Structure 1
Amino acid sequence: MGRTDRAARAIAASPAAVYAALVDRAAVESWLPPEGMRGRIEHWDPRPGGGFRMVLTYLDPTGSPGKSGDATDVVEVGFAELVPDQRVVQRADFVADDPSFAGTMTMTWQLTPTGAGTQVTVTADDVPPGIDQQDHEGGIASSLEHLAAVVEG
């Protein structure tokens, strides 16, 4: 069993608005890449058993070698569970030759209504050991910041 990383953020939008941004291709492509990266979704099938493939590219690859190529990370994501306005569970596998990035990481996006909007908690279970914990949690926090910008308008 691997490591668990977490991040959370209060977002001033309804759980329905946040959930919609978690399952919309264009929205995911805009908010999921953390700061310093851009993303491109190659295929999209938003249903349990479906998934997507995202290519993440470092804007400045200096000192940030990619897992899948010189300046890229490629991740295959499967949707394990989609519960409208409550939760999205994804299974993510990085495309990499390095065995320290192997294995399936489970990402749970939990949406909890609050008086001011939605508390979004992201839990990443079985994080591959090649992924630095501080960098990963910072990346999740960055994605949450971008998600907030998209849904808060």
Structure 2
Amino acid sequence: MNNRTDRAGRLISAPPAAVYDALLDRESLEMWLPPEGMRGHVERWDPRPGGGFRMVLTYLDPAESPGKTSDATDVVDVEFAQLVPPTRLVQRAVFEADDPSYAGTMTMTWHLAPVGDGTEVTVTATDVPPGIDQAVHEAGIASSLANLASYIEARG
């Protein structure tokens, strides 16, 4: 088991309930979760504790970042381990990969704390597989959070 922890956070100009709703909406997730340079498609969706989703992330330029599952994709199965609206969401993520350095279950904990008229969103990833570069992973989480902020703030 890997004991590494990766983190990223961002202030989003929306109340925690609006942010939480975007974390549990299939269409929203497809729009904001893929980090820069990727697009995503949800193949399975079950938004309840013990449920989860399967997302296929496709690299727009696979030559720049080879995928974990295939040359151009990362496929991840995510379980909703804990849902505590509107302040906390815990996910367990497993990547489909032949490379054992991507094996294992990574836990992603989303904390949503009200700050003024907005929400401080902090994502903490624990037991990150060693094949995932820490700087790249934290930049990816930050990119997803920027997408989430843009998505929610544009909806007003």
Q: Which residue of 2 aligns with 1:96?
A: 97
2:137 aligns with 136
| Alpha-carbon distance between aligned partners in 2 of 1:135 and 1:6, rounded to the nearest angstrom | 11
Provide, for residues 45-82 of structure 1, a one-character-per-residue CA deviation record: whole Å limited to 9, x for no partner: 00000000000000011131110001000000000001
* Deviant stretches of 4+, over 4 Å: none
The residue type paired with residue 31 of structure 1 is W
Q: 1:10 corresponds to which residue?
A: 11
What is the alpha-carbon root mean square deviation over aligned residues? 0.6
Matched residue of 1:68: which SS? Answer: coil
Alpha-carbon distance between aligned partners in 2 of 1:152 and 1:108, rounded to the nearest angstrom? 22
SS at match of 1:127: coil
> Counterpart of 1:32 in structure 2: which amino acid?
L
Q: Specify the alignment match of 2:112 in structure 1.
A: 111
Unaligned runs of 5+ in 1: none
Q: Is the 8 A contact 1:2 1:129 kept in 2?
A: no
TM-score normalized by the length of structure 1: 0.98
Residue aligned with 1:69, SS: coil
Over the matched positions of the two proteins, sequence identity in percent amounts to 72
Distance 1:63 1:116 in 2: 39
Aligned partner of 1:61 in structure 2 is 62
- Aligned partner letter, 1:78: E
State the SS of the aligned residue for 2:20.
Answer: helix
| TM-score under structure 2 length normalisation | 0.97
Letter in 2 for 1:40: H
CA separation in 1, counterparts of 2:85 and 2:36?
Answer: 27
Aligned to 1:52: 53
Matches of 2:72 and 2:117 in 1, distance apart?
39
Instruction: Assess if the C-alpha contact under 8 Å between 1:19 and 1:86 holds in 2.
Output: yes
Secondary structure of 2:127's partner?
Answer: strand
